[in-house]
């Protein structure tokens, strides 16, 4: 019977350690889960917005290519090119501002969640 006792003690210790780890994970999830889920949602929103911008830029480049095929003179080519580059520069600047704003808001939100969780 003494041979069963060390195994039982080891199993009890393993069970207690497992329960302790599960409790710690549960407490961690309760404290920081909101911050992580908010950060994950913000990352998804950022990625979605990035894909919309990619699509808009690709469509603008396709329209530019189609119009480029219709140019009849070097002057038309230069005018079309400069117009397209100007429009794309403005659009990309606005897109960059929007993405930066989303990033800042996500960071602020995550920090607030973490700060509240620690209280």
- Smallest CA-to-CA distance from 71 within 60, 83, 87 is with 83
Is residue 46 assigned to a domain? Answer: yes
Is residue 2 assigned to a domain? Answer: no
Could you give the count of Cα atoms lying within 13 Å of 23 in the half-sphere of its Cβ? 6
Query: Is the entire prediction scored with pTM above 0.75?
Result: no
Report how many domains make up the chain: 1
Is residue 44 assigned to a domain? Answer: yes
Report residue 28 as tokens: 């961690």
Is residue 16 assigned to a domain? Answer: no
Domain range for residue 89? 35-118
Contact 34, 117 (CB under 8 A): yes
Give residue-wise pLDDT tens across range 45-62.
999 999 999 999 999 999
Q: Residue 4 region, left (φ>0) first, then alpha (ψ -120 to 50), else beta?
A: alpha
Is 105's pLDDT higher than 80? yes
Is residue 62 assigned to a domain? Answer: yes
């Amino acid at each position: 019977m003494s041979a069963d006792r060390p195994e039982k003690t080891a199993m009890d210790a393993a069970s207690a350690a497992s329960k302790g780890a599960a409790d710690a994970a549960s407490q961690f999830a309760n404290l920081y889960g909101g911050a992580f889920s908010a950060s994950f949602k913000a990352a998804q929103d950022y990625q979605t917005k990035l894909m919309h911008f990619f699509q808009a830029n690709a469509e603008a480049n396709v329209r530019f290519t189609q119009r480029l095929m219709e140019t009849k003179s070097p002057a038309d080519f230069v005018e079309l090119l400069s117009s397209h580059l100007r429009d794309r520069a403005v659009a990309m600047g606005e897109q960059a501002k929007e993405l930066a704003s989303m990033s800042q808001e996500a960071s602020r939100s995550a920090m607030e969640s973490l700060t509240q969780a620690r209280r």
